[in-house]
Structure 1
Amino acid sequence: MAVSAHQTDLSAALIMAPTSLTEWLVVLPVVTCITIGAVLMMIRKHTVWHPLIAIPALVFLVVIDSMLLYAVLKYGPITMVAGKWLPPFGIAFTVDLMGALFALAAAIAGLAGGVFALGDINKSGRRYGFYPFLMLLIAGVSGAFLTGDIFNLYVWFEVLLISSFGMLILGSTHEQLDGAMKYAVLNLIGTTLFLIAVAFIYAVFGTLNMADIAIKARAAPALPTATIAALFVLAFSMKAAAFPVNFWLPASYHTPRTVVSALFGGLLTKVGVYALLRVMVMILPADLSALSSIIGIVAFLTMALAGLGAIAQHDIRRAVGYIVIVGIGNCLAGVAIGGVEGLQGALFYALHSMILMTLLYFLTGLAGKLAGGFSLNSIGGIYRRYPVFAGISLGAFFAAAGLPPFSGFWPKAILVRASVDSGTWWLAAAILFAGFCSTIALGRIFLLAYWRPGEAEPAERIRIPLSEWVPIIALSAVVVAFGVYPEPLLRVTDLAVQSILSPEGYFLSVFPSGSAP
């Protein structure tokens, strides 16, 4: 057989170099979660095996994300393209320092949720697929943090949204279905706006690769992108539960099982914050400057009204929902302030909130079980019966209020200083006011639910299982550690912010030759 002398040069279309082990780390978190979720679905009739498979997989995920963070710190941003097609034609997974930090925090929260669920999710909840839904949720969250393609960011939003619907209605009570309806309508509107913005951005730039869009936006600042940026801000604000589209969160997050509320409060709103940072700071910085005043006003109203809303609540789970919204306002304030310090405060606060809000929902859900209810009008006596648990709760309340020596103090201090330095003193006032309201709301919960004798205390002392103690103590240790010794996180968040403000390393990771199409 004759061999053709003509040889096709594939180097113009494909990456010819072999894929390194470091590059596999970029997609391994998503592959692991989806694979384990599929395995759990295949053995759906043997739910006793679900936690025995899911929890080691989540431990493995934490290890992978830790290795990925180390690799990014050592080598800079890393890109892997589907099918080895050259960007921007291949679907890219690109991870920089910010994405790696968010992915690791999500994995830690997911692992804590998987362990806590051993005691919180009964046989019925496992039979209806809690652990497969959990793995799919973490896959969606991880994919959103690691993707380098803006359409696939939308796809991962949909993945985590679908899985969150399933987790929200585990139990199928009337209250859960009502909360799920409010959650679904607002989030579907948000994803629709996101998809419309993605269609517009493709029409303007002819590409969906984030690095390619960012390069073209910088090369042609006169392109009409103001409407696109406004749609992105609105869509991500709805996802993050910012004013005036935040009422769905306190109306729905208190309805599911404790572990589900904890995962939602810790993870889902932070995906919106991450997307806002990625799209507005790295991809469309010129439009961020134009919209910063509007974002600042939204942040102000989000913090002020959520702080007042937390004080007004009698259900401790609803109060924690408003505390989550206060945190979103703090993150938006950092985006509005801009600069290294403002964005560092937003990033630090988002990472701290992913861990703390997961912990706070664990504690309030368990407090309701120990006290016999969630209404401040009737419960009490937790400190007398469970002093260690009460002490841990008090520390978490201090952290949520932004008081030292816990992790919540540092990002608020950074944001207040940045707002004063930038001349937006009214944002500093809102941050302090919201912190004051949070202190009153959480102090009220401790005084009424923990300190005073209760009217509806269970007749027998309830034993807290080890599966719930372990994640509570582990997350509490993280909150205390970054409060007492914040320097490592301060250094790495500073590097992360500089990398999105000056994303040349991100661009070179996607286009190694240094020249984008």
Structure 2
Amino acid sequence: MAVSASSPVLSEALVLAPVTALDWLVIAPVAWCIGIGAVLMMVRHRGMLQPLIAIAALTVLVCLDAMLLWHVSQGGPVTMVMGRWLPPFGIAFTVDLTGALFALAAAVVALAGAVAAMADIDASGRRYGFYPFLMLLMAGASGAFLTGDIFNLYVWFEVLLISSFGLLVLGSRSAQIDGAVKYGFLNLVATTLFLVATGYLYGIFGTLNMADIARKAPGLRDTAPLMTLTALYLLAFSMKAAAFPVNFWLPASYHTPRIVVSALFAGLLTKVGIYALIRVSILLFPVEREILGPVLALVAILTMLTGGLGALAQTDSRRLLGYLVISGIGSMLAGIAIGGPDAIAGTLFYALHSMLVMTALYLAIGLAARLGAGFSLAVPSGLYRDHAALAFLTLALFFSVSGLPPFSGFWPKVMLVKAALDAGAVWLAGALLLTGFLTMIATGRLFLLSYWRPRDERTAGAGQAGLPVSGLPVRRLPITIVAPLVVLTALSLLIGLFPETLLALARQAALALTTPTAYLDSVFAPGSLQ
């Protein structure tokens, strides 16, 4: 039966107000990435055109995400529902400061990777879909950061996973296939757990809208098994984030693809897992997170120590960086375990710093491998003498990942240690400091063995993964890799010297997560939906 637009039933179920131009920014990043990915597929045989289109598109994506961040910081969380159906009927995209910050950092990382890929991905890699996979990866990451529906979070995880498979096996070397099998199996297990938990959640709440779940959870806490549900989600997302003891897939796979793919993975994949952990444990189930806090703290400590000690044991620079990614995940988990606005702000700051710095570190060791003909720490390159600028940039990034001033890694480490001490978690604070010390030793060892020792031409290797197509060392630095490396390192330094803006945004985002009134109002308040 037809219902008029003025019917009370229809007006209560549908958004009838026109959508403002700025509110389209909520879904623009996802739609843009999917559209450009389709265009790149249509020109897949034109290898020279693909990077130009992708770089231009990712530059636009950075601008879109920056405008979205400004829009959210000025007016609070923004919600858009698909098909104009109000929640809980319509699928919602809800963007707060946390999602906007992650989306912008991810776009910056992707742009850096697209530029670096001009020198690192050959014609075959372009023909078989590097740039379309990259845009699909960004569609998945952007969708995960911007969605307000937990089943759609699962969907965007799947989009992210599919595209990462494609990037991981690009080149079809035996080591890549082996790494992809390990990566794929563990991530599919995590995805299955995620799906099971989501089905369980729907059976309990009868809704998948995050704001609706957060609103209903207090009334169901005494009758529904929310602790079991929270534990399932924490396990699934811990596997995605490479937390102990389900982190062995990362060092088994991140060293196998081209170095620019490793850089993108280090900057993006595990951070989506951390974002999902924050969103579920802080926004949806804060009481259950508080009860599970000691368990999360233990997992955080073991993850940090696994990463730090694992990095010390490596003789391959790519594997070493993989363990540093794990170590950083432990530091972020520490903030989630502590809870509270200060700790969550530290976690958010650390995640944004790690996205930029870990991407830059992989690009830096990729350049070092090109110049020194290998990733083995047993092969000295003498880069400090022949390429002092690259050695300086790498050392600056080592300082940043170790949490030393004046770089971006210093401030989140201080925030997390202070939050741990304020909460009486002395052992957690000690683990954070010890991890920074282990990281400093591991990176210092890498620098001394690979950069400082004079090069021995008789022992220089060639033909390793991540080197130029010829497998031979080069003496000139590709500008398309140097430029993003310089920009990312400069960003780390600028954030370290002038942290006030990012500190304020991280604290504002953390406060909004722990007191989600504005988030809930953006979804359910009359007239607030667009």
- TM-score class, shorter: over 0.9
Matches within 5 A, 1:263-274: 263-274=264-275
Question: d(CA) in 2 for partners of 1:454 and 1:340?
Answer: 49
**1:316-336: CA deviations, max 9, x gaps?**
000000000000000000000
Query: Which residue is 1:183 aligned to?
Result: 183
Query: Which residue is 2:468 aligned to?
Result: none
SS in 1 for 2:292: helix
Query: Which residue is 1:134 aligned to?
Result: 134
Question: d(CA) in 2 for partners of 1:119 and 1:194?
Answer: 37
Letter in 1 for 2:330: G
Question: d(CA) in 1 for partners of 2:56 and 2:436?
Answer: 38
SS in 2 for 1:413: helix
Query: Which residue is 2:22 aligned to?
Result: 22
Letter in 2 for 1:430: A
Query: Which residue is 2:432 aligned to?
Result: 431
Gaps of 5+ in 1: none
Query: Which residue is 2:174 aligned to?
Result: 174
Q: CA deviation at 1:7?
A: 6.6
Task: Name which of 507, 514, 522 aligns with 1:494.
Answer: 507
Letter in 1 for 2:260: V
Question: d(CA) in 2 for partners of 1:68 and 1:96?
Answer: 10
**1:86-127: CA deviations, max 9, x gaps?**
111101000000000000000000100011101110001001
TM-score normalized with structure 1 length: 0.97
Query: Which residue is 2:148 aligned to?
Result: 148
Query: Which residue is 2:340 aligned to?
Result: 339
Question: d(CA) in 1 for partners of 2:219 and 2:22?
Answer: 31
Query: Which residue is 1:507 aligned to?
Result: 520
Query: Which residue is 1:382 aligned to?
Result: 383
CA contact (8 A) 2:373 2:473 kept: no
Task: Describe the shift of the 1:49–1:289 C-alpha distance in structure 2 as closer, same or farther (beyond 3 A).
Answer: same
**1:131-175: CA deviations, max 9, x gaps?**
000000000000000000000000000000000000001110011
Query: Which residue is 1:45 aligned to?
Result: 45
Task: Describe the shift of the 1:210–1:128 C-alpha distance in structure 2 as closer, same or farther (beyond 3 A).
Answer: same
Is 1:306 matched up with 2:280? no
Letter in 2 for 1:142: S
Query: Which residue is 1:163 aligned to?
Result: 163
Q: CA deviation at 1:273?
A: 0.4
Letter in 2 for 1:151: F
Is 1:470 matched up with 2:470? no
**1:268-310: CA deviations, max 9, x gaps?**
0000000000011001111101111111000000001210110
Task: Describe the shift of the 1:218–1:311 C-alpha distance in structure 2 as closer, same or farther (beyond 3 A).
Answer: same
Is 1:351 matched up with 2:364? no
Q: CA deviation at 1:219?
A: 3.2
Is 1:417 matched up with 2:418? yes
Question: d(CA) in 1 for partners of 2:279 and 2:378?
Answer: 43
Question: d(CA) in 2 for partners of 1:385 and 1:59?
Answer: 33
SS in 1 for 2:252: helix
Letter in 2 for 1:57: A
Task: Describe the shift of the 1:260–1:12 C-alpha distance in structure 2 as closer, same or farther (beyond 3 A).
Answer: same
TM-score normalized with structure 2 length: 0.95
Q: CA deviation at 1:4?
A: 10
Instruction: Give me the CA root mean square deviation.
Output: 1.7
Task: Describe the shift of the 1:28–1:451 C-alpha distance in structure 2 as closer, same or farther (beyond 3 A).
Answer: same
CA contact (8 A) 1:236 1:272 kept: yes
Is 1:68 matched up with 2:85? no
Question: d(CA) in 2 for partners of 1:501 and 1:277?
Answer: 10
CA contact (8 A) 1:412 1:431 kept: yes
Question: d(CA) in 2 for partners of 1:383 and 1:400?
Answer: 20
Q: CA deviation at 1:386?
A: 0.6
Task: Describe the shift of the 1:249–1:8 C-alpha distance in structure 2 as closer, same or farther (beyond 3 A).
Answer: same
Q: Number of residues paired by the alignment?
A: 514
SS in 1 for 2:221: coil
SS in 1 for 2:407: coil
Query: Which residue is 1:210 aligned to?
Result: 210
CA contact (8 A) 2:200 2:229 kept: yes
Q: CA deviation at 1:465?
A: 1.4
Matches within 5 A, 1:58-97: 58-97=58-97
Letter in 2 for 1:20: T
Query: Which residue is 2:495 aligned to?
Result: 482
Is 1:393 matched up with 2:394? yes
Question: d(CA) in 2 for partners of 1:515 and 1:165?
Answer: 39
Gaps of 5+ in 2: 463-471
Task: Describe the shift of the 1:423–1:204 C-alpha distance in structure 2 as closer, same or farther (beyond 3 A).
Answer: same
CA contact (8 A) 1:507 1:514 kept: no
Is 1:323 matched up with 2:324? yes
CA contact (8 A) 1:373 1:379 kept: no
**1:315-365: CA deviations, max 9, x gaps?**
000000000000000000000011111111111100100111110111112
